[in-house]
Amino acid sequence: MLLTTFGLPEAIFEQSHEALVEVAGDAAARAALVPPGADFAAYLDAVLAWREQPCNQIVMLDDPAYPPRLLTMPDPPPLLYIKYKGPARPAAHAGYRHCGES
């Protein structure tokens, strides 16, 4: 509901508590506005390190590689962790390479 109404997560986080309550109720509004926990920086570092490994990719809602059918769900995952087992899918601006190649 929030994504349908406000768009990407950045736009949701810019909304007031009242605006979020109108769309999704008080519990969802409070959950959306909770600040990150103390361990968020460590978690983010781990995610970024995972992404840098061969054959790993993170796809966010606004990425053209995000599966369109997932966007039709009421609450689609904000990001997807993808691990390729065969040839890596070429990025929009990068050439084709096999997983594990430098």
pLDDT digits (tens, 9 = 90+) for 10-44: 899 999 999 999 999 999 999 989 998 999 999 99
Of the candidates 50, 38, 13, 10, the residue with the CA atom closest to the CA atom of residue 28: 13
Query: Does 41 map to a domain?
Result: no
Class of residue 2 by CB neighbours under 10 A (exposed 0-12, middle 13-18, buried 19+): buried
CA torsion, ordered 23, 60, 69, 17, to nearest 10 deg: 0
Task: Please check whether residues 55 and 91 belong to one and the same domain.
Answer: yes
Beta-bridge partner residues of 59: 80
Asked if 7 contacts 71 with a C-beta cutoff of 8 angstroms, the reply is no
Task: Give the pLDDT band (50/70/90) at residue 95.
Answer: very low
The arithmetic mean of pLDDT across residues 63-73, rounded, is: 90
Is residue 60 domain-shared with residue 23, that is, in the same domain? no
User: Do 100 and 51 sit in the same domain of this protein?
Assistant: yes
Q: Which residue has the higher pLDDT, 62 or 99?
A: 62
- Full domain range(s) for residue 22: 1-34
pLDDT value at 72 more than 50: yes
pTM score > 0.75 for this model? no
Domain membership flag for residue 39: no
Task: Give a yes or no: residue 64 inside a domain.
Answer: yes
Neighbours of 96 (CB within 10 A): 10
Count of domains observed in the chain = 2
Q: Are residues 23 and 69 in the same domain?
A: no
68 and 93 in a single domain? The answer is yes
